[in-house]
Amino acid sequence: MQSMQYPLNKLRENIASSFPSTTFKVLKEVKINIIKMELSITRPDDWHLHLRDGKLLEAVIPHSAHHFGRAIIMPNLKPPITTTAAAMAYRESILKALPINSGFTPLMTLYLTDSTTPAEIKLAKESGVIYAVKLYPAGATTNSQDGVTDLFGKCMPVIEEMVKHNMPLLVHGEVTSPEVDIFDREKVFIETVLSPLVLKFPQLKVVMEHVTTMDAVKFVESCAEGRIAATVTPQHLVLNRNSLFQGGLQPHNYCLPVLKRETHRQAIVSAVTSGSKRFFLGTDSAPHDRLKKECPCGCAGIYNAPVALAVYAKVFEEAGALDKLEAFTSFNGPDFYGLPRNTSKITLRKTPWKVPESFSYASGHVVPMFAGEMLDWLPSPV
């Protein structure tokens, strides 16, 4: 491997703050290895992933399967995955689309609607392949039109059944009322839906998906560990809302919940790099065909699967917390879900690589996050 152009001072600072017990003498001795830096970590899982279906599924699945051991598969297809039978069929098509010899395991979810029954939850649990139920407030995001219109009025028996089976509820945490400013929708959701829900069901396990605000960070930190957790995306760790408008409208940085101001981004970075067990990796990789992003009414969703690990590594490196990366990528998620941690490893090499401009597939093109830009960390299976 080539040695890197990386300022030695910065490297020392990073290493010293990541591994405080490391002495300067040792740093000098391992200088060569530091310059050719590699991290070997337990293979990560992705606890929030959109794989879509058909040709797009075939195109994107290798990017996730290459790096991740398992992923929680979001059910917002058209039509949505509302039954155990549909989830099992979707799982089969994912397995069929996997590269040969891939060990990737899809963990399926059910899409909650006003008419989901407790019997369906029982069936889901008994299937052994469904790990969670996803709450989309109707109209909150991509393909959420069949989502829940009245959680407290319509879904209480279903939530009770989920508690009985220890089945986590995954939430897209935004209210949909048009009078609430789009930048406040997560905060208002916490106040009006999530807090009351958690109070009403102290045993319910909840994952607040793709948190974007310091309000969400504070809420999750205030709840019992092991009961309420949050996934964090690469984009909400490295981008703020300025990047939606940098030099013109940037559709490939548009996702929901929408990027927030810098202070929120900083709060999320502090939370994940603190070593808290409450936060874990969930990319929310959400591919849309290029023509559905670059058009007069572009879809929400960032395709980040090819770059996610490189971006997470950069965030932990810059925070001087590389020693905490593995818990975030590979331990906190399975521990929360009560699943074993992966036993295989992957390597992250500190080497510059260029993100492809786009990936073509049978029905068009999909543009990844940071298309055409250079990233520092290159993941590869050991």
- Pairing status of strand 279-281 against strand 38-42: unpaired
By beta-carbon proximity to Zn ion, the closer residue of 47 and 359 is 47
Q: Out of 170, 206, 256, 366, which residue is the one contacting ligand NCD (CB under 6 A)?
A: 256
Phi-psi category of residue 34: left, alpha or beta, with phi > 0 → left and psi -120 to 50 → alpha: alpha
Asked if 172 interacts with Zn ion (CB under 5 A), we say yes
By beta-carbon proximity to Zn ion, the closer residue of 172 and 349 is 172
**Please, what sign has the CA dihedral across residues 120, 121, 126, 130?**
positive
By beta-carbon proximity to ligand NCD, the closer residue of 156 and 300 is 300
CB 204 within 8 A of CB 169: yes
Active site residue 187: no
3-state secondary structure of 308: helix
Q: Out of 43, 50, 260, 293, which residue is the one contacting ligand NCD (CB under 6 A)?
A: 50
Token pair listed for 280? 């874990």
Asked if 260 interacts with Zn ion (CB under 5 A), we say no
Asked if 105 interacts with ligand NCD (CB under 6 A), we say no
CA angle 152, 155, 161 (to 5 degrees): 125
Strand partners, 231: 280
By beta-carbon proximity to ligand NCD, the closer residue of 301 and 333 is 301
Catalytically annotated residue among 134, 205, 252, 260: 134
Give the end-to-end CA distance of the chain in Å, rounded to a whole number.
Answer: 15
Asked if 286 interacts with ligand NCD (CB under 6 A), we say yes
Active site residue 365: no
Asked if 326 interacts with Zn ion (CB under 5 A), we say no
By beta-carbon proximity to Zn ion, the closer residue of 84 and 233 is 233
The DSSP code for 331 is I
Q: Out of 105, 113, 141, 235, which residue is the one contacting Zn ion (CB under 5 A)?
A: 141
By beta-carbon proximity to ligand NCD, the closer residue of 15 and 255 is 255
| CA separation for the pair 244, 256 (Å, rounded) | 12
By beta-carbon proximity to Zn ion, the closer residue of 231 and 330 is 231
**Non-local CB neighbours of 289 within 8 Å, separated by 6+ positions:** 56, 363, 364, 365, 366
Q: Residue-wise over 163-175: b if at least 16 C-beta within 10 A, else e? A: eeeebbbbbbbbb
3-state secondary structure of 9: helix
Distance of closest approach, residue 367 Cβ to ligand NCD, in angstroms: 14
Asked if 172 interacts with ligand NCD (CB under 6 A), we say yes
Distance of closest approach, residue 176 Cβ to Zn ion, in angstroms: 12
Active site residue 288: no
Tokens 């080497």 locate to: 351
Catalytically annotated residue among 63, 67, 205, 210: 210
Cβ neighbours of 73 (radius 10 Å): 26
Asked if 174 interacts with Zn ion (CB under 5 A), we say no
3-state secondary structure of 290: helix
How many Cα atoms sit within 13 Å of 35 on the Cβ side? 13
Q: Select from 319, 228, 310 the least CA-distant residue to 269.
A: 319
Distance of closest approach, residue 369 Cβ to ligand NCD, in angstroms: 12
Listed ranges 30-38, 137-145, 232-240, 321-329: which one lies at the site for Zn ion (CB under 5 A): 137-145
Listed ranges 54-62, 141-149, 260-268, 303-311: which one lies at the site for Zn ion (CB under 5 A): 141-149
Q: Which amino acid is at 315?
A: V
Active site residue 210: yes
Distance of closest approach, residue 209 Cβ to ligand NCD, in angstroms: 7
Q: Which does 169 bind (CB under 5 to 8 A by kind): ligand NCD, Zn ion, none?
A: none
Q: Select from 312, 303, 325, 323 the least CA-distant residue to 237.
A: 312
Catalytically annotated residue among 46, 50, 146, 215: 50
Distance of closest approach, residue 76 Cβ to ligand NCD, in angstroms: 5
| CA separation for the pair 261, 122 (Å, rounded) | 41
Active site residues: 48, 50, 134, 172, 210, 284
Binding site for Zn ion (CB under 5 A): 141, 172, 284
Binding site for ligand NCD (CB under 6 A): 50, 76, 141-142, 172, 255-256, 284, 286, 300-301
